[in-house]
Amino acid sequence: MTAVTALLESFRQRIKYALQPVSFPEPVHVVRQHSKIMERYDVAPQIPTKIELGALANKAKTLWDSQGSKGLLALSKSEVGNLPWVLYYGEPPQIASQAELVQHILRLLEPRARTNILKLIHAYLLFFDPTLPGTEVIRKFLVRSLAQYQGRNPRVRRWRERASLVFAPDGPRHAAGWILTSEKETAALLSEDLGLEGDLATGAFVKALTRTCLTMVEKTFPNGLGKALNLLETPGIPPRARFKEMLPEAATKLISRAGPEANQEIQDRLRSFFLKHMDDPRLPGGRVWWKDVSPEAQRIFAQWISKRDLEFFFSIVDRTAVDRQWAYRRRFWEAYLPYIENTWVALGPRARALVDSPQMRAHMEERHFAILSGVEGNQSVFFVQMGGYIFLEWSHSGACRVWDQQTCGFELGQPKYSGSELRADNYVHYQRHIGPWQEKLAQWILLRTGIRPAKPYL
């Protein structure tokens, strides 16, 4: 080995070791100090266990009932620090139902204002109940304490900045009005501007705020509709209902206010939202959620779905069928929309692949339409349930077959159908689309159901 070669080899080895990653020990002290700083200055309060809260609530009530305010002095320092969490705890009557007891508890909390005020704010917003007398006592205490606060805790200082919005008299109404007039996104308003994030984003204050917002939007409809719908669900993929139990109330207010002739944009927005969170009211899975929705709102919503199902089916027919009668068939069934009880669509594999409109593809995904087998791949079927009968329209010419709903052998809403079962010969009427077929079918419907078309179909 020459001197140059040896030098290069030595240089290569040094470079090799120099480029290896250096393993530093974990910065234990830095992590520990960071935890202390976050615990002291900018972390949400942690709620004790239910067992601890139950025991403390019972102890505080017992001491108050037996000795009054003097009895509360027997509580330890740690117990006093947890008193904010028990104000709304348990079954009625809660501590917050007694205004005088709440006032004395707040006096115990004053000496450690910074720590206790954060717990108190959290409890107030998480368990907010304006029907309890103690709630107004707590609100006034928070307003006064935040106004007087001169410390450096960033979390307390942010609450002081928000006080005029969150802790105003009738705070939910005040905050709801502010949200509806702001141009910022709802999620940012809740988390950044109002501080209602984490468990507070689904707490009782936000619930009251959302209900108030719905009432306001009902009066000013459609202004604020987007904000109201955003409040009703949490952001995420997929978004989830923020307050599932409030959806029937929201559906009643918003759908009824929109009415059956709402413009297409409003129909699409409300239909998509409530299908996503409550399913179809005409199908077994959706009836559970829709049972508390007003009959008027259910009727309007069902008509919206049927209308879009009809548009969806005939948009597919326009792409796949040779027969030009489909335009007349569409107008015929549009004339019966107010009376149609249910609709459904089954698609062959090629027909499903031809859905390229973003709106129609979204509708197909929302509705989870059925798979049609045993037929040509580009065929599809439209189901109409009305007046005790089920009417089937095929995409490729053919005829309209009518079954008695009780004896047809299949139901709307199934995930799969075969061509053979949908062409079975136990139908009660068979109408070819030739000649004056509209008058013949309309006459048959009138005689069997008493239903007349709501508008001309020719």
For 252-287, the DSSP string reads HHHHHHH-TT--HHHHHHHHHHHHHHH--TTSHHHH
The pLDDT score that the predictor gives to residue 31 is 45
The pLDDT score that the predictor gives to residue 15 is 65
Q: How confident is the model at residue 353 (pLDDT cuts 50, 70, 90)?
A: confident
Q: From residue 279, how far is each of 42, 65, 161, 266, 344 by CA, in Å?
A: 41, 50, 41, 18, 14
The pLDDT score that the predictor gives to residue 162 is 94
Question: Given a cut of 60, is residue 39 above it in pLDDT?
Answer: no
CA dihedral 150, 154, 157, 161 (to 10 degrees): 150
- Residue pLDDT, tens place only, 59-85: 999 999 999 999 999 999 999 999 999
- The region of weakest confidence among 28-37, 76-85, 173-182, 241-250 is 28-37
User: Residue 240 has which token pair?
Assistant: 């989830």
Question: What share of the chain has pLDDT > 70, as a percent?
Answer: 90
Question: Given a cut of 80, is residue 3 above it in pLDDT?
Answer: no
User: What's the full length of the chain, in residues?
Assistant: 458
Question: Given a cut of 80, is residue 23 above it in pLDDT?
Answer: no
Long-range contacts, stretch 276-284, CB < 8 angstroms, 24+ apart:
276/238, 276/239, 276/366, 277/232, 277/233, 277/241, 277/244, 277/247, 278/247, 278/248, 278/251, 280/305, 280/367, 280/413, 282/341, 282/342, 282/412, 282/413, 283/342, 283/412, 283/413, 284/413
Q: What is the mean pLDDT of the chain?
A: 89
What stretch of H or E contains 370?
strand 370-373
Interatomic CA distance for residues 367 and 359, integer angstroms: 12
The pLDDT score that the predictor gives to residue 32 is 54
- Residue pLDDT, tens place only, 381-405: 999 999 999 999 998 867 899 999 9
**Tokens 């707590």 sit on residue:** 138
- Residue pLDDT, tens place only, 142-189: 999 999 998 889 999 999 999 999 999 999 999 999 999 999 999 999
Mean pLDDT (whole number) for 333-349: 94
Pairing type for strands 380-386 and 389-394 reads antiparallel
Mean pLDDT (whole number) for 430-439: 94
The pLDDT score that the predictor gives to residue 34 is 47
- The region of weakest confidence among 45-54, 87-96, 202-211, 444-453 is 45-54
If 0-12 CB within 10 Å is exposed, 13-18 middle and 19+ buried, where does residue 235 land?
A: middle
Q: From residue 1, how far is each of 4, 13, 15 by CA, in Å?
A: 8, 16, 20
Q: Is the peptide bond before 222 cis (omega within 30 degrees of 0)?
A: yes
The pLDDT score that the predictor gives to residue 440 is 96
- The region of weakest confidence among 42-51, 233-242, 374-383, 443-452 is 42-51
- Residue pLDDT, tens place only, 196-224: 999 999 999 999 999 999 999 999 999 99
Mean pLDDT (whole number) for 330-343: 94
Question: Given a cut of 70, is residue 128 above it in pLDDT?
Answer: yes
For 168-211, the DSSP string reads STTHHHHHHHHHHH--S-HHHIIIIIS---GGGGGSHHHHHHHH
**Contact 366/273 with Cβ under 8 angstroms?**
no
Q: How confident is the model at residue 355 (pLDDT cuts 50, 70, 90)?
A: confident
- The region of weakest confidence among 127-131, 235-239, 307-311 is 235-239
Question: Given a cut of 60, is residue 94 above it in pLDDT?
Answer: yes
The pLDDT score that the predictor gives to residue 238 is 86
